[in-house]
Chains A and B, each alone.
Chain A
């Protein structure tokens, strides 16, 4: 079956609105990189041509939270910057997702001390956790695909 023959003429297909919205949303992720620490190096590595996060439709970082769907929290979050993170999250429009990138954002990592938030899920809701110190680019892409599956399956708010 050749695709161009199938698509020719008046052909159509049926689907559910929820699925088609999910399908379009998962391939047009605009991320806001909230980069505070060394995990940022791995984020750059994923973003650039070698691993190329753009293959998954998440290649365009927006540096305004109002234009972003995905809050990428990359690196250690200290108690001092926690109010900023919460404010950035609140400024984002729905639908929005949060990825905890690296072990410091997941649990605080080895910074079990007075200065560090023990996991950003204590202050903002998190959709996908990417572990690692720092995570390998493959792990990041795996986490991104997990997020895409989640977006595809969820009930779409319109």
Chain B
């Protein structure tokens, strides 16, 4: 089956929950409703053979509504195609965790929480992944001050 046909059948299947769709140079992107994310990913994994979750990341559109977007990159090894799924999220809203579907989502969601401050509902262990305990704020948010430092070892001027 052609890639565009696969995407068309996906869109027909979940048409109630698709907010937008675009395709550019073979990059297929679906924008879906936050509440329906888990079911859509389940359908994509089980019926459309997207066995591999490549990456999860967050995007901060400061000043826009909704402020964040969580981006999922899927890969289908059996069909040799990739798909991008985007979920708009507002500040304070939670996205359903994908750990029951893809175990790799555990660390990827922890990273997204650490860097962007997007919470994932029903995540088994939502702690910071990259930054340390005691770090205040989320470093990759657009409103994180660029010169803000939170050292674990306080600088000592006598060594300079």
Taking beta carbons and an 8 Å cutoff, which residues of A are in contact with B?
Answer: 79-80, 82-83, 86, 113-115, 117-118, 121-126
Contacts and interface: CB of A to CB of B under 8 A. Distances in A.
Contact of B139 (A82, A114, A121): A114
Contacts of B159: 121-126
A122 B156 contact: yes
Interface residues of B, number: 16
Contacts of B131: 80, 115
B69 to A, nearest CB: 22
B22 to A, nearest CB: 33
22 contacts: A79-B132, A79-B152, A79-B153, A82-B152, A82-B153, A83-B152, A86-B153, A114-B139, A114-B148, A115-B131, A117-B151, A117-B153, A118-B149, A121-B160, A122-B151, A122-B155, A122-B159, A123-B153, A123-B156, A124-B159, A125-B159, A126-B159
Contacts of A86: 153
Contacts of B155: 122-123
Nearest to A118: B149
A31 B33 CA distance: 57
Main secondary structure of the interface of A (DSSP, over half): loop
B150 A79 contact: yes
Which residue, A79, A118, A121, A125, has most C-beta atoms of chain B within 10 A?
A: A79
Which residue, B132, B144, B153, B155, has most C-beta atoms of chain A within 10 A?
A: B153
Interface string B126-148: 00001110000001000010101
Contacts of B149: 79, 114, 118
Contacts of A125: 159
Contacts of A126: 159
Nearest to B157: A122
A114 B153 contact: no
A114 B144 contact: yes
A86 B139 CA distance: 24
